[in-house]
Amino acid sequence: MAKFNVNICPVCNGNEFSSFLTCTDYFVSNEKFKIKQCNRCGFKITEEIEDEENIGSYYQSENYISHSNTTKGLVNSVYHRVRKYMLGRKRRLVEKAAAMQNGHILDVGTGTGFFLNEMREYGWHVTGIEKSDDARKFAKAEFNLENLPAEELFKLKENEYDVISLWHVLEHIHQLSENMDAFSSLLKTDGKLIIAVPNHDSYDAKHYKQFWAAYDVPRHIWHFAPEQMKQFGEKHGFKLASLHTMPFDSFYVSMLSEKYKKSSLSLFKGIFNGGISWLDSLINKAKCSSVIYVFEKN
Protein backbone atom coordinates (compact mmCIF):
# COMPACT_ATOMS: atom_id res chain seq x y z
CA MET A 1 0.00 0.00 0.00
CA ALA A 2 1.39 3.39 -1.03
CA LYS A 3 2.36 5.78 1.75
CA PHE A 4 1.91 9.54 1.90
CA ASN A 5 5.28 11.23 1.56
CA VAL A 6 6.27 14.80 0.76
CA ASN A 7 9.36 15.66 -1.29
CA ILE A 8 8.79 19.40 -1.69
CA CYS A 9 8.37 21.62 1.38
CA PRO A 10 4.89 23.22 1.24
CA VAL A 11 6.21 26.31 3.03
CA CYS A 12 9.33 27.28 1.06
CA ASN A 13 9.46 24.75 -1.83
CA GLY A 14 12.76 23.40 -0.54
CA ASN A 15 13.65 19.86 -1.60
CA GLU A 16 16.36 18.93 0.87
CA PHE A 17 15.47 17.39 4.21
CA SER A 18 17.25 15.91 7.20
CA SER A 19 16.12 13.61 9.99
CA PHE A 20 14.70 15.34 13.05
CA LEU A 21 13.03 12.93 15.50
CA THR A 22 11.47 9.50 15.76
CA CYS A 23 8.22 9.59 17.77
CA THR A 24 5.76 6.96 18.97
CA ASP A 25 2.01 6.87 18.42
CA TYR A 26 0.91 6.61 22.05
CA PHE A 27 -2.80 6.87 21.29
CA VAL A 28 -3.53 3.91 19.05
CA SER A 29 -0.82 1.77 17.52
CA ASN A 30 2.45 2.24 19.46
CA GLU A 31 4.13 2.41 16.06
CA LYS A 32 7.13 4.66 15.55
CA PHE A 33 7.16 7.40 12.92
CA LYS A 34 10.00 9.57 11.68
CA ILE A 35 9.78 13.34 11.41
CA LYS A 36 12.01 15.14 8.92
CA GLN A 37 12.81 18.84 8.68
CA CYS A 38 13.27 21.11 5.69
CA ASN A 39 16.88 22.24 5.52
CA ARG A 40 15.84 25.62 4.14
CA CYS A 41 13.05 26.80 6.48
CA GLY A 42 12.96 24.25 9.32
CA PHE A 43 9.39 23.10 8.64
CA LYS A 44 8.82 19.58 9.96
CA ILE A 45 6.87 16.76 8.31
CA THR A 46 5.90 13.27 9.49
CA GLU A 47 7.11 10.62 7.05
CA GLU A 48 5.63 7.36 5.77
CA ILE A 49 2.06 7.81 6.97
CA GLU A 50 -1.17 6.43 5.55
CA ASP A 51 -2.85 8.35 2.77
CA GLU A 52 -6.08 10.26 3.35
CA GLU A 53 -8.30 7.27 2.64
CA ASN A 54 -6.55 4.95 5.10
CA ILE A 55 -5.48 7.20 7.98
CA GLY A 56 -8.85 6.79 9.74
CA SER A 57 -7.79 3.75 11.77
CA TYR A 58 -5.32 5.94 13.68
CA TYR A 59 -8.23 8.00 15.02
CA GLN A 60 -10.17 4.98 16.31
CA SER A 61 -9.59 5.34 20.01
CA GLU A 62 -11.78 6.56 22.86
CA ASN A 63 -8.72 8.46 24.00
CA TYR A 64 -8.91 10.71 20.94
CA ILE A 65 -10.90 13.39 22.69
CA SER A 66 -11.99 15.62 19.82
CA HIS A 67 -13.81 12.67 18.23
CA SER A 68 -14.87 10.54 21.18
CA ASN A 69 -15.74 13.16 23.81
CA THR A 70 -14.41 10.88 26.54
CA THR A 71 -13.90 12.21 30.09
CA LYS A 72 -12.07 9.09 31.22
CA GLY A 73 -8.91 9.81 33.19
CA LEU A 74 -7.53 12.92 34.86
CA VAL A 75 -5.94 14.47 31.76
CA ASN A 76 -9.13 14.08 29.72
CA SER A 77 -11.20 15.48 32.59
CA VAL A 78 -8.96 18.54 32.72
CA TYR A 79 -9.27 18.89 28.95
CA HIS A 80 -13.06 19.09 29.16
CA ARG A 81 -13.07 21.66 31.96
CA VAL A 82 -10.66 23.85 30.03
CA ARG A 83 -12.64 23.40 26.80
CA LYS A 84 -15.75 24.82 28.43
CA TYR A 85 -13.86 28.00 29.30
CA MET A 86 -12.07 28.15 25.95
CA LEU A 87 -15.30 28.01 23.94
CA GLY A 88 -16.20 31.49 25.15
CA ARG A 89 -12.64 32.72 24.70
CA LYS A 90 -12.55 31.47 21.11
CA ARG A 91 -15.92 33.08 20.33
CA ARG A 92 -14.76 36.42 21.66
CA LEU A 93 -11.55 36.18 19.67
CA VAL A 94 -13.56 35.49 16.50
CA GLU A 95 -15.86 38.44 17.19
CA LYS A 96 -12.90 40.74 17.76
CA ALA A 97 -10.98 39.53 14.72
CA ALA A 98 -14.01 39.83 12.44
CA ALA A 99 -15.17 43.11 14.05
CA MET A 100 -18.74 41.80 14.20
CA GLN A 101 -21.04 40.11 16.69
CA ASN A 102 -22.51 37.72 14.15
CA GLY A 103 -21.86 36.66 10.59
CA HIS A 104 -21.14 33.55 8.55
CA ILE A 105 -18.49 31.21 9.94
CA LEU A 106 -17.09 28.01 8.48
CA ASP A 107 -15.37 25.73 10.99
CA VAL A 108 -13.15 23.11 9.36
CA GLY A 109 -12.53 19.94 11.33
CA THR A 110 -15.30 20.85 13.72
CA GLY A 111 -15.16 17.53 15.59
CA THR A 112 -18.10 16.92 17.89
CA GLY A 113 -19.48 20.40 17.31
CA PHE A 114 -19.04 22.20 20.64
CA PHE A 115 -17.45 25.33 19.13
CA LEU A 116 -19.98 25.66 16.31
CA ASN A 117 -22.81 25.26 18.80
CA GLU A 118 -21.32 28.08 20.89
CA MET A 119 -21.16 30.34 17.83
CA ARG A 120 -24.72 29.51 16.76
CA GLU A 121 -26.06 30.24 20.24
CA TYR A 122 -24.60 33.74 19.93
CA GLY A 123 -26.27 34.43 16.59
CA TRP A 124 -23.74 33.26 14.02
CA HIS A 125 -24.71 31.42 10.85
CA VAL A 126 -22.61 28.28 11.03
CA THR A 127 -21.25 25.68 8.62
CA GLY A 128 -19.12 22.78 9.77
CA ILE A 129 -16.77 20.43 7.91
CA GLU A 130 -15.83 17.17 9.61
CA LYS A 131 -14.26 14.03 8.18
CA SER A 132 -15.28 11.63 10.96
CA ASP A 133 -18.70 10.00 10.53
CA ASP A 134 -18.93 9.37 14.28
CA ALA A 135 -18.13 12.99 15.14
CA ARG A 136 -20.76 14.24 12.68
CA LYS A 137 -23.33 11.87 14.19
CA PHE A 138 -22.50 13.13 17.68
CA ALA A 139 -22.89 16.76 16.58
CA LYS A 140 -26.24 15.95 15.01
CA ALA A 141 -27.53 14.08 18.07
CA GLU A 142 -26.17 16.52 20.66
CA PHE A 143 -26.60 19.89 18.91
CA ASN A 144 -28.68 19.20 15.78
CA LEU A 145 -25.76 20.38 13.64
CA GLU A 146 -25.70 19.14 10.05
CA ASN A 147 -21.94 19.12 9.56
CA LEU A 148 -20.59 18.23 6.12
CA PRO A 149 -18.02 15.58 5.16
CA ALA A 150 -14.55 16.82 4.20
CA GLU A 151 -14.98 16.56 0.44
CA GLU A 152 -17.82 19.11 0.54
CA LEU A 153 -15.34 21.89 1.33
CA PHE A 154 -14.51 22.25 -2.37
CA LYS A 155 -18.20 22.54 -3.32
CA LEU A 156 -19.09 25.46 -1.06
CA LYS A 157 -20.04 28.88 -2.42
CA GLU A 158 -17.15 31.27 -2.99
CA ASN A 159 -16.90 34.64 -1.22
CA GLU A 160 -19.44 33.44 1.37
CA TYR A 161 -17.77 33.48 4.80
CA ASP A 162 -16.74 36.23 7.18
CA VAL A 163 -14.58 33.80 9.16
CA ILE A 164 -13.04 30.40 8.52
CA SER A 165 -11.61 28.70 11.61
CA LEU A 166 -9.44 25.65 12.17
CA TRP A 167 -8.76 24.74 15.79
CA HIS A 168 -5.90 22.23 15.81
CA VAL A 169 -6.94 20.89 12.41
CA LEU A 170 -4.52 22.17 9.75
CA GLU A 171 -1.78 19.85 11.00
CA HIS A 172 -4.01 16.86 10.14
CA ILE A 173 -4.91 17.78 6.55
CA HIS A 174 -3.23 15.84 3.76
CA GLN A 175 -4.23 18.32 1.02
CA LEU A 176 -2.58 21.22 2.78
CA SER A 177 -2.03 23.68 -0.07
CA GLU A 178 -5.31 22.80 -1.79
CA ASN A 179 -7.21 23.59 1.40
CA MET A 180 -5.45 26.93 1.85
CA ASP A 181 -6.38 27.93 -1.69
CA ALA A 182 -9.98 26.90 -1.00
CA PHE A 183 -10.08 29.03 2.15
CA SER A 184 -8.95 32.04 0.14
CA SER A 185 -11.76 31.60 -2.40
CA LEU A 186 -14.44 30.92 0.24
CA LEU A 187 -13.65 33.98 2.37
CA LYS A 188 -15.16 37.37 1.69
CA THR A 189 -12.72 40.12 0.71
CA ASP A 190 -12.45 41.33 4.31
CA GLY A 191 -12.82 37.86 5.81
CA LYS A 192 -10.52 36.37 8.43
CA LEU A 193 -8.81 32.98 8.52
CA ILE A 194 -8.14 31.78 12.07
CA ILE A 195 -5.75 28.85 12.50
CA ALA A 196 -4.59 27.27 15.76
CA VAL A 197 -1.72 24.78 15.60
CA PRO A 198 0.94 23.41 17.96
CA ASN A 199 4.27 25.21 18.02
CA HIS A 200 7.43 23.09 17.79
CA ASP A 201 9.46 26.15 18.79
CA SER A 202 7.87 26.27 22.26
CA TYR A 203 9.65 25.51 25.54
CA ASP A 204 7.67 22.32 26.13
CA ALA A 205 8.40 21.00 22.62
CA LYS A 206 12.12 21.48 23.11
CA HIS A 207 12.00 20.07 26.64
CA TYR A 208 10.07 16.88 25.82
CA LYS A 209 11.57 16.24 22.36
CA GLN A 210 10.28 12.87 21.07
CA PHE A 211 7.81 12.62 23.96
CA TRP A 212 6.13 15.96 23.15
CA ALA A 213 2.45 15.08 22.95
CA ALA A 214 1.70 17.66 20.26
CA TYR A 215 3.78 15.84 17.68
CA ASP A 216 0.92 13.30 17.84
CA VAL A 217 2.22 11.12 15.01
CA PRO A 218 0.88 9.99 12.58
CA ARG A 219 -2.25 12.13 12.94
CA HIS A 220 -0.19 15.33 12.86
CA ILE A 221 1.42 15.45 9.45
CA TRP A 222 2.73 19.03 9.55
CA HIS A 223 4.61 20.74 12.38
CA PHE A 224 4.68 24.54 12.32
CA ALA A 225 6.51 27.30 14.13
CA PRO A 226 5.33 30.94 13.87
CA GLU A 227 7.75 32.07 11.18
CA GLN A 228 6.84 29.08 9.00
CA MET A 229 3.11 29.67 9.49
CA LYS A 230 3.51 33.32 8.50
CA GLN A 231 5.46 32.33 5.39
CA PHE A 232 2.94 29.63 4.50
CA GLY A 233 0.03 32.06 4.80
CA GLU A 234 1.78 34.61 2.58
CA LYS A 235 2.43 31.94 -0.02
CA HIS A 236 -1.34 31.47 -0.33
CA GLY A 237 -2.31 35.14 -0.44
CA PHE A 238 -2.79 35.86 3.26
CA LYS A 239 -1.22 38.43 5.56
CA LEU A 240 -0.73 37.70 9.25
CA ALA A 241 -2.89 40.21 11.15
CA SER A 242 -2.35 39.04 14.72
CA LEU A 243 -1.03 36.23 16.87
CA HIS A 244 -2.60 34.86 20.07
CA THR A 245 -1.72 32.24 22.65
CA MET A 246 -3.52 29.14 23.91
CA PRO A 247 -2.07 29.16 27.44
CA PHE A 248 -3.84 26.06 28.73
CA ASP A 249 -2.19 23.97 26.03
CA SER A 250 1.17 24.47 27.73
CA PHE A 251 -0.17 22.62 30.78
CA TYR A 252 -2.29 20.03 28.98
CA VAL A 253 0.46 19.06 26.52
CA SER A 254 3.08 18.92 29.28
CA MET A 255 0.88 16.70 31.45
CA LEU A 256 0.26 14.36 28.53
CA SER A 257 3.95 14.34 27.63
CA GLU A 258 4.86 13.32 31.18
CA LYS A 259 2.33 10.52 30.89
CA TYR A 260 4.07 9.32 27.72
CA LYS A 261 7.41 9.38 29.53
CA LYS A 262 5.84 7.29 32.31
CA SER A 263 7.28 9.72 34.80
CA SER A 264 6.76 9.46 38.52
CA LEU A 265 4.82 12.46 39.84
CA SER A 266 3.81 13.12 36.24
CA LEU A 267 0.97 15.48 37.16
CA PHE A 268 3.21 17.78 39.17
CA LYS A 269 6.03 17.65 36.65
CA GLY A 270 3.57 18.44 33.87
CA ILE A 271 2.17 21.42 35.75
CA PHE A 272 5.68 22.64 36.54
CA ASN A 273 6.99 22.41 32.97
CA GLY A 274 3.70 23.70 31.59
CA GLY A 275 4.10 26.67 33.89
CA ILE A 276 7.56 27.42 32.52
CA SER A 277 6.20 27.23 28.98
CA TRP A 278 3.29 29.50 29.89
CA LEU A 279 5.59 32.07 31.50
CA ASP A 280 7.80 31.96 28.42
CA SER A 281 4.75 32.78 26.26
CA LEU A 282 3.95 35.81 28.42
CA ILE A 283 7.28 37.27 27.35
CA ASN A 284 6.96 36.14 23.72
CA LYS A 285 3.64 34.91 22.26
CA ALA A 286 5.55 33.08 19.54
CA LYS A 287 6.89 30.68 22.21
CA CYS A 288 3.50 29.37 23.36
CA SER A 289 2.84 25.63 23.14
CA SER A 290 -0.02 26.36 20.72
CA VAL A 291 -0.49 29.55 18.75
CA ILE A 292 -3.57 31.09 17.13
CA TYR A 293 -2.89 32.92 13.88
CA VAL A 294 -5.38 35.44 12.47
CA PHE A 295 -4.88 35.98 8.74
CA GLU A 296 -6.55 38.41 6.39
CA LYS A 297 -6.59 38.29 2.60
CA ASN A 298 -3.65 40.18 1.17
Coil vs helix vs strand at 128: strand
The candidate with the shortest Cα–Cα distance to 167, out of 100, 86, 102, 226, is 86
pLDDT in tens, 249-293: 999 999 999 999 999 998 999 999 999 999 999 999 999 999 999
- Residues 132-142: what's their mean pLDDT? 94
Distances 116 to 48, 145, 287 between C-alpha atoms, Å: 33, 8, 28
- Residues 188-205: what's their mean pLDDT? 98
CB 239 within 8 A of CB 233: yes
> What is the spatial distance between Cα 72 and Cα 52, in angstroms, rounded to a whole number?
29
**One-letter amino acid identity for 269?**
K
Residue 75 has pLDDT above 90, yes or no: no
What residue ranges do the domains of the chain occupy?
17-297
The model's pTM is: 0.92
**One-letter amino acid identity for 25?**
D
- Residues 56-80: what's their mean pLDDT? 62
Residue 70 has pLDDT above 60, yes or no: no
The candidate with the shortest Cα–Cα distance to 294, out of 98, 121, 52, is 98
Residue 65 has pLDDT above 80, yes or no: no
Binning pLDDT at 50, 70 and 90, where does residue 68 land? very low
- Residues 35-55: what's their mean pLDDT? 96
pLDDT at 82: 72
pLDDT in tens, 210-257: 999 999 999 999 999 999 999 999 999 999 999 999 989 999 999 999
Fold of 17-297: Rossmann fold (3.40.50)
Residue 69 has pLDDT above 70, yes or no: no
